[in-house]
Amino acid sequence: MRTTVGIIGGGPSGLLLSILLDRLGIDNQVLEHRSRAHVQRRVRAGQLDHASVAFLRQAGLAGRLDRLGLPQRGMNLRWRGQTRRIDLEALSGGHSCMVYGQSALTCDLTNALAASGRSPVYGAEDIRLSDPESEPHVITYRKDGAEHRLECRFVAGCDGAHGPARRLVNGAGGGSSKRLPFSWVGVLSETPPVSPELTYAYHPRGFALWSMRSDTVSRTYLQCGADDQAEDWSDDRFWSEMQRRLGPDVTFSPGKVTERLMVRMQGYVADRMQLGNVVLAGDAGHTVPPSAAKGLNLAIADIRELSESFRRLLFEGRQEALAEYAQKALKRAWAGQAFSWQMTDLLHAPPSGDPFESNLKLTRLDSLLASPGQLSLFCRDYTGAEAA
């Protein structure tokens, strides 16, 4: 098999890139080691920023998103037992975002690809990449017991945080990373949301977040110990801790829990996102702590620019296009990282439970929320760098 761009990974990054390259007439093939069902079931964060929604609309990929997504014009912040609504739309000059599960977006992208008669190769095991400088680049993999070989001019590593592309471009252990001394336990349940907008809460016992997927399904998270396991959090323990952190005036009656998962809090940014004919995009190049739900949005911004860079390279002969993409993507990743760490630091309790540190955090929140000029700190369009 031969193609122009071999795309490793069929998550949101790989699927979106395939669709956009297809439209430009650039031949490509996605190789995904999991099954289609596995990829579509994977539950992750679910918030799309203004720029992501605008781009998906412009690309004609937002039909179901516009029907089923839940618009978010502000957020609720709870601390010291009170709620403050932050009008993000007003603070950001009219920008709003949309709650829409990543699995729903993955389904939409898979369907859009199928509509143009294309499909990722699922179950492509043991993918091996050749040297980044080699031309053509040769990718080998196994499927249904047989060995396969794909020759391509370029490789797009869209294979997430644990795939082979990150390592190929940065070397083992390359890039900068940091892990925080706490995790999140997340629960998907058949519980109506406590508010139509997301609620973020600071409590000396830890952070809490109430998000949703529909009028009847909630996605809720609690800060917990760094190495806690899902089994440590029975439904009873989870809901009583949620109630304690949100306070008695937030009322809810917990419904059936359909999924429980642990989210480790860490950030990573690659040293480089391009080497020879191999480029990285999305989680392969950077991962952020989920506190600001930036991961999927950074991935969409990468792909928007990467597809344009392939167009400039292949149709206009701009040789530096991929290197320019990589530079810009790294800058954006650090901006996303800075915003995510700021939100994380502001809203999480010290794991030691140290009352001195916790009081400092509460006092910082008091002063932030008392000064309208500082509220733009919560705006998700943190630099404008990702605006279309």
Does 291 bind ligand PHB (CB under 6 A)? Our answer is yes
- Per CB under 6 A, the segment of 22-30, 162-170, 286-294, 329-337 that binds ligand PHB is 286-294
**Does the protein bind ligand APR through residue 127 (CB under 6 A)?**
yes
The verdict on 282 binding ligand PHB (CB under 6 A) reads no
386/388 Cα distance (integer angstroms): 6
Q: Which does 292 bind (CB under 5 to 8 A by kind): ligand PHB, ligand APR, none?
A: ligand PHB
Choose from ligand PHB, ligand APR, none: what does 206 bind? Cβ within 5-8 Å by kind: none
Toward ligand PHB, which CB reaches closer, 134 or 214? 214
Q: CA-to-CA distance for 224 and 180, rounded, in angstroms? A: 11
CA terminus-to-terminus distance, the chain: 35
Give dist(CA 386, CA 332) in Å, integer: 7
Q: Which listed option, ligand PHB, ligand APR, none, makes contact with residue 13 (CB within 5 to 8 Å by class)?
A: ligand APR
Q: Is 273 in the site for ligand APR (CB under 6 A)?
A: no
Taking CB under 6 A as the binding criterion, the range among 61-69, 89-97, 152-160, 353-361 that sits at the site for ligand APR is 152-160
Tokens standing for residue 253: 């009656």
Q: How far apart (Å, rounded) are the C-alpha atoms in residues 136 and 300? A: 27
Alpha carbon 322 to its chain's center: 22
The number of beta carbons lying within 10 Å of the beta carbon of residue 54 is: 15
Q: Spell out the long-range contacts of 22-30 with Cβ–Cβ below 8 A and sequence spacing 24 or more.
A: 22/113, 22/116, 22/118, 24/307, 24/310, 24/311, 24/315, 26/310, 26/311, 26/314, 27/3, 28/3, 28/4, 28/156, 29/1, 29/3, 29/5, 29/120, 29/121, 29/150, 29/152, 30/120, 30/121
Contact with ligand APR (CB under 6 A) among 74, 186, 206, 282? 282
Which tokens go with 218? 């909630």
Binding mask 180-219 for ligand PHB (x = CB under 6 A): ------------------x----------x-x-------x
- Region from 6-14, 30-38, 41-49, 154-162 binding ligand PHB, contact rule CB under 6 A: 41-49
- Report in angstroms the alpha-carbon separations of 123 from 7, 115, 154, 205: 14, 21, 21, 43
**Residues in binding contact with ligand PHB, number by CB under 6 A:** 12
For ligand PHB, the binding residue among 13, 28, 47, 287 (CB under 6 A) is 47
Q: Per the omega criterion (within 30 degrees of 0), is the bond before 350 cis?
A: no
Give least dist CB 101 to ligand PHB, A.
Answer: 7
d(CA 116, CA 29): 13
Contact track, ligand PHB, 329-348, x by CB under 6 A? --------------------
Binders of ligand APR among 223-252, rule CB under 6 A?
Answer: none
Chain contacts with ligand APR (rule: CB under 6 A)? 8-14, 31-34, 39, 44-45, 102, 124, 127, 158-160, 162-164, 282-283, 295-296, 299
User: Which positions lie near ligand PHB, rule CB under 6 A?
Assistant: 45-47, 99, 198, 209, 211, 219, 290-293
